[in-house]
Amino acid sequence: MTPPSQRRRRSAPAPARRSRPPARSSSQRRPFVGLWLLCGLLYAAVGVIIVALAPPWVWLVAVAGALVQSLALAGPQTLQRFRWLAANLVVLGSILGGTALAVAISIALNHLGVNNLDELAIGRAVIEVALYSLLAALLAVLCSLVTTTLGDRLLRRYQGRTITVVLLGTCLLGLAIGGALGMLIAPA
């Protein structure tokens, strides 16, 4: 038997710790409502520009571009789910939709200078066409980036067709609201 001075003392059991739920990454915690509103506002701006400035057939090009782009969902989160060929086809769909949207915006913006053809100078016309086309491409790129980012955020939270319905609804509703506002400000 060991003397009391050499006996080992047993330590008291550690108090039970509360277990925390696993921390979610910052991208899953971010709300997507602001991004959703930004997407709607950008498409509303596109709708205003197209209805106020362009002939009615341009509206169909913009709607077709928004539909294709919304259906493609070509964000990085989406593309990871596909193999090489399918991912490239999704990106191609997104590019085609964005291009159609850029073409529609460019046609609408370049109709601004058509009213005064008698006073048209070649140098000024080239600069205006370049600036309006650059603005159209910039707006189409912003729409594409916001749409794909919103699609990826929705993909992290929801599954199935909910994402496509929300994106299609946002894009088309934004275009429709912008088109209604464009009809109010369009010259008669």
pLDDT reported for residue 163: 76
User: ∠ at Cα 98 (130, 153), nearest 5°?
Assistant: 130
The per-residue pLDDT for range 135-148, each reduced to its tens digit, is 889 999 999 888 88
Parse the chain into domains and list their residue ranges: 33-113+121-185
CA gap 128, 114 in Å, rounded: 11
Q: What is the DSSP string of 47-95?
A: HHHHHHHS-HHHHHHHHHHHHHHHHH--SHHHHTTS-HHHHHHHHHHHH
Q: Determine which helix (DSSP H) or strand (DSSP E) holds 30, and give its type and residue range.
A: none
pLDDT exceeds cutoff 60 at 42: yes
pLDDT reported for residue 4: 61
How many residues can be counted in the chain? 188
Mean pLDDT of 88-104: 87
pTM value is: 0.75
CA gap 114, 85 in Å, rounded: 43
